[in-house]
């Protein structure tokens, strides 16, 4: 297969690689370079300023707030989302009532119905979901508060997105709502590939459902959980959190910077405040946080690979 091999390789790789290099790789390299300049983005002129942007960042109170919120997103969101998803997936696939003569493990009744419904938010744009929940959270006329009034909780009428201490949690709840279904389906597929004789053996040994989950399902699903954790963390640090915070919260990023996240701060500095160089500096910090997050999860989660 040597005939014309290299010409073919070059011919097939040139366009994809060129496009990728121009629109993805080159901007990444540029932005690291720009973080050492005083480029505004508005004029083509700039000069090198060394580590000035980084020094400024370390004294920027809003930067620290956004970092704190982003870290909270990366820790809390995967934890809550994956826990819920594992629970649902286990109930759907293994949690069914055991019957004589029936299969050793079985899902609850209507398991395929749950999987279809839970997956709904995953196919919707996060922008549309955010708009919908922005209305639901409206303190006067929103669906949530009027539901609370409807069941007699007139005294409980939070401002939701308007309350600095609640706003961030409201935003996170929307992200949980929209991503749990994906992981339920993902874990379900993983659980289906666990051989049933393992469950049979556990049943013979008298294990109840909780023991079955922690001794059999979770260890055998660990690889999937771990990659799900990284995937969710990258989403929570990047594009998804940008959309929810930018669309749902006032300012955006408020009230009182209570919901601002790093990715939004990069956007605002670059495209609202005309401080492109400083924006790339925060972007580099976001890159470091993202890579560190992935490395920590992969390292902490490393265990002996179980073959089955």
Partner 1 sequence: MKTTDTSAPVPAESGLPVAEIGTTRGTAPREKKEGTVLNAFSHGILVLWAIMVVMPLLWAVMTSFKDDSSIFGSPWALPDKLHFDNWARAWTDANMSDYFLNTILVVGGSLIGTLVLGSMAAYVLARFDFPGNRFIYFLFIGGMSFPIMLALVPLFYVVNNMGLLNTIHGLILVYIAYSLPFTVFFLTAFFRTLPTSVAEAAFVDGASHSRTFFQIMLPMAKPGLISVGIFNFLGQWNQYMLPTVLNTDPDKHVLTQGLVQLAVSQGYKGDWSGLFAGLVMAMLPVLAAYIIFQRQVVQGLTAGALK
> Could you say whether residue 41 binds partner 1 (CB under 8 A)?
yes
Q: How far is the CB of 256 from partner 1 (least distance, A)?
A: 21
Q: How far is the CB of 219 from partner 1 (least distance, A)?
A: 17
Q: Cα separation of 32 and 279, whole Å?
A: 11
Q: Which is nearer to partner 1, 93 or 259 (CB)?
A: 93
Instruction: Evaluate whether 137 touches 248 at the Cβ level (below 8 Å).
Output: yes
Residues present in the chain in total: 308
From the list 136, 148, 203, 207, which residue makes contact with partner 1 (rule: CB under 8 A)?
136
Residues 222-241 that bind partner 1 (CB under 8 A): 224, 227-228, 230-231, 234, 237-239
Q: Which is nearer to partner 1, 125 or 165 (CB)?
A: 125
Q: Which is nearer to partner 1, 165 or 291 (CB)?
A: 291
> Could you say whether residue 83 binds partner 1 (CB under 8 A)?
no
Instruction: Evaluate whether 264 touches 248 at the Cβ level (below 8 Å).
Output: no
* Structural tokens at position 174: 């929307």
From the list 49, 62, 72, 131, which residue makes contact with partner 1 (rule: CB under 8 A)?
131
Residues 241-280 that bind partner 1 (CB under 8 A): 242-243, 246-247, 263, 266-267, 270-271, 276, 279-280
Which x/- pattern over 173-212 shows residues binding partner 1 (rule: CB under 8 A)? ----x--xxx--xx-xxxxxx--x------------x---
Q: Which residues pair with 95 in a beta bridge?
A: 106
* Structural tokens at position 256: 């009182």
DSSP code string of 176-227: HHHHHHHHHHHHHHHHHTS-HHHHHHHHHTT--HHHHIIIIIHHHTHHHHHH
Q: Cα separation of 106 and 100, whole Å?
A: 12
How many positions of this chain bind partner 1 (CB under 8 A)?
A: 120
Which x/- pattern over 95-124 shows residues binding partner 1 (rule: CB under 8 A)? xxxxxxxxx-xxxxxxxxxxxxxxxxxxxx
Q: Which is nearer to partner 1, 39 or 167 (CB)?
A: 39
> Could you say whether residue 294 binds partner 1 (CB under 8 A)?
yes
**Applying CB under 8 A, which part among 52-60, 157-165, 284-292, 299-307 lies near partner 1?**
284-292
239-278 b/e (C-beta count within 10 Å ≥ 16 → b): ebbbbbbbbbbeebbbbebbbbbbbbbbbbbbeeeebbbb
Q: How far is the CB of 30 from partner 1 (least distance, A)?
A: 4
Going from the C-alpha of 163 to that of each of 247, 254, 257, the distances in angstroms are 16, 9, 11
User: How distant is the alpha carbon of residue 157 from its chain centre?
Assistant: 29
> Could you say whether residue 218 binds partner 1 (CB under 8 A)?
no
> Could you say whether residue 54 binds partner 1 (CB under 8 A)?
no
């Amino acid at each position: 297969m040597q005939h014309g091999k290299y010409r073919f390789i070059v011919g097939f790789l040139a366009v994809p690689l060129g496009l990728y290099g121009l629109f993805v790789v080159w901007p990444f390299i540029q932005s690291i370079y720009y973080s050492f300049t005083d480029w505004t983005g508005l004029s083509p002129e700039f000069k090198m300023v060394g580590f000035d942007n980084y020094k400024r960042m370390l004294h920027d109170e809003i930067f620290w707030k956004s970092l704190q919120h982003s870290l909270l997103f990366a820790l809390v969101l995967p934890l809550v989302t994956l826990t819920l998803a594992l629970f649902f997936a286990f109930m759907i696939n293994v949690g069914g009532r055991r019957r004589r003569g029936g299969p050793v493990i079985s899902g609850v009744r209507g398991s395929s119905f749950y999987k279809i419904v839970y997956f709904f938010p995953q196919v919707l744009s996060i922008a549309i979901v955010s708009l919908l929940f922005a209305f639901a959270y409206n303190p006067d006329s929103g669906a949530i508060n009027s539901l609370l009034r409807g069941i007699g909780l007139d005294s409980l009428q939070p401002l939701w997105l308007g309350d600095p201490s609640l706003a961030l949690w409201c935003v996170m709840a929307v992200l949980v709502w929209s991503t749990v279904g994906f992981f339920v389906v993902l874990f379900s597929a993983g659980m289906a590939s666990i051989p049933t004789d393992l469950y049979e053996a556990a049943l013979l040994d008298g294990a109840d459902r909780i023991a079955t989950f922690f001794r059999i399902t979770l260890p055998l699903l660990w690889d999937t959980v771990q990659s799900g954790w990284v995937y969710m963390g990258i989403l929570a640090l990047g594009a998804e959190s940008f959309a929810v915070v930018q669309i749902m919260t006032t300012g955006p990023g408020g009230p009182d910077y209570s919901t601002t996240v790093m990715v939004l701060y990069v956007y605002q500095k670059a495209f609202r405040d005309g401080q492109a160089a400083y924006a790339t500096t925060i972007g580099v910090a976001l890159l470091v946080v993202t890579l560190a997050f992935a490395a920590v999860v992969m390292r902490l989660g490393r265990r002996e690979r179980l073959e089955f």
